[in-house]
């Protein structure tokens, strides 16, 4: 998978630099939702000379190539995830907690939508909003 992403960069005419490789490596980790600052911290553990602007430019590039996508959950700005496949969240509307889950009921719907509209689906994002167990008794909204 990692080699395929590197090839996508090259095929699009971009150099495969150590900072870009470090950003890709951080993003490729399973189950990770990171904001740009968290990505910068982890990238600097791999390639210490990488600056903030380089991480932001690399995230923009990887987003434009469809390798990563920003997701906006809560008020903390974007976090970045891999763009391929499905991604599923439970989001607490009270405290903002985000829980990933793997069970995907959208696969059947995906196939139906492809047939119905002639649309080739590459990925999806499924989010359910509600109140987590920690907040269910104390959240004024519910």
Each of the 142 residues of the chain gets a pLDDT tens digit; together they read: 678 888 989 999 999 999 999 999 998 875 567 889 999 999 999 999 999 999 999 999 999 998 888 887 666 678 888 877 777 778 888 887 888 777 777 778 888 889 999 998 877 788 888 888 888 888 876 6
Name all domains of the chain by residue range, CATH numbers in brackets.
1-83 (1.10.10.10), 85-142 (3.30.1490.190)
Question: For the chain, how long is the longest CA-to-CA vector?
Answer: 54
Half-sphere CA count of 49, side-chain side, radius 13 A: 4
């Amino acid at each position: 998978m990692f080699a395929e992403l590197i090839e996508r960069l090259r095929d699009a005419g971009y150099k495969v630099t150590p900072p870009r490789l470090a950003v890709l490596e951080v993003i490729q980790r399973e189950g990770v939702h990171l904001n740009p600052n968290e990505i910068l911290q982890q990238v600097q553990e791999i390639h210490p000379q990488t600056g903030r602007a380089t991480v932001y430019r690399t995230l923009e590039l990887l987003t434009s190539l469809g390798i990563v996508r920003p997701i906006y959950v809560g008020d903390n700005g974007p976090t970045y995830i891999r763009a391929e496949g499905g991604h599923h969240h439970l989001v607490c509307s009270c405290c903002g907690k985000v829980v990933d889950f793997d069970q995907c009921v959208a696969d059947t719907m995906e196939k139906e939508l492809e047939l119905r509209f002639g649309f080739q689906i590459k990925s999806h994002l499924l989010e359910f909003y509600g109140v987590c167990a920690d907040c269910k008794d104390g959240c004024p909204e519910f």
